Structure 1
């Protein structure tokens, strides 16, 4: 839907969350929607707008749908695991399907009903080479040459995972802001602090690129599980406890599978007056 039409008719959306990682989801399959960075920032404002960590568009595409993601600061992201899982559950309920084929700017993803109200999404193979993530220069991604020796991983967006003795003791607001903008990451990065509880159990907190501290992140959980397995700290199938709840990650030969709950909180319409105020 062109910007002028949006300002005339308003914009219908769904508010969803996965473990408190919250989203505004716009179904643009019937009518294309033009969401500029400024519009995204306005909707993201938790006092003057709706509030979200990410905004997602459901578009027509190969398979069941194509998904587009924007962060709260208006920047784009090729991946958002929790939003993908929430949208997959919505599409399953809409179509009656138990398996879906989705595409994102990163590539093809697959989702399935995991039973007991849970949804699984195959987030694809992790990106482990420096130029895939990307990093600013060639190096071993297993342990970066910066304080704390974090691991770099790509899941369609960049990740920097620090393994620490106590995840609660890290001042995440300061820590995350500093490393999001580290010069080794030309596109900025998500920052995770991860405490290994056992061979199949991790406690993790996350700072998301373009957002800040969030209660959960699906792609960050996938990246952390991959990093822990690569470093021999865990197996390839782990439970990850986040501030907002628990995800289950399984790094298989066909990709990294993420399983967790979803919630459709409400549906509403942004008024033409509000949209016009954002320019």
Structure 2
């Protein structure tokens, strides 16, 4: 599930710590890279040995929270320093994503050329177009392919659906947040309202539209916005960090939450939905502490 997407953004990499001409710093968080690694391993185990980790697919929900947290943290600091640049932001996203994406797509195409029949090559061509335009999630919905459907195993670029959602977030969110940042005292309330609205849409989506709920940025946006909300909250209380006892308790609950999600859920669980709150809140707890 979007292993390519998981490489972006690296948790406040050194390139983000020292942007050209930007007067801000963002400390590198190795613990976030560690959390990302756990999520990657969970996703890989789910696909290779689903019986061992039936809920490992929830790792992608952890990715969404991490991406929302990091991206919003960077934009929020740059807006406060009046150093935010759309051109620089998108240039960095391109440099981080495109090399890996192009490598994955080309390697997949070359292998498929020798092993796929004509009909499946045509489907792969459509998926490559969707991946190139970062609309793979919409393409899969149009093809009526659910992520957990048996036939989905024949789509080697299926995992790029979540990269599509992340990129759609990266396209829309910076401009939206720059506007939201004009009301510093209301930032948290606005982002919380947007996230709550997305969650309600997700929960209200009927079961017959389960594929749409899975692939849609409308019903997945709240997971990214959960990370965004956390970034704003932690920045506002930078002078009042969480105490050691509370931090240890939250971290323990976060670890337990990931365990419940990875082991206790399965592909038969309605997803996304109320259960998705478990890995999302667990990721938030671990990032916050």
Interval containing the TM-score (normalised by the shorter chain): 0.3 to 0.5
Higher RCO, Cα 8 Å, sep 6+: 2
TM-score with structure 1 setting the length: 0.32
Decide which structure has greater strand share.
1
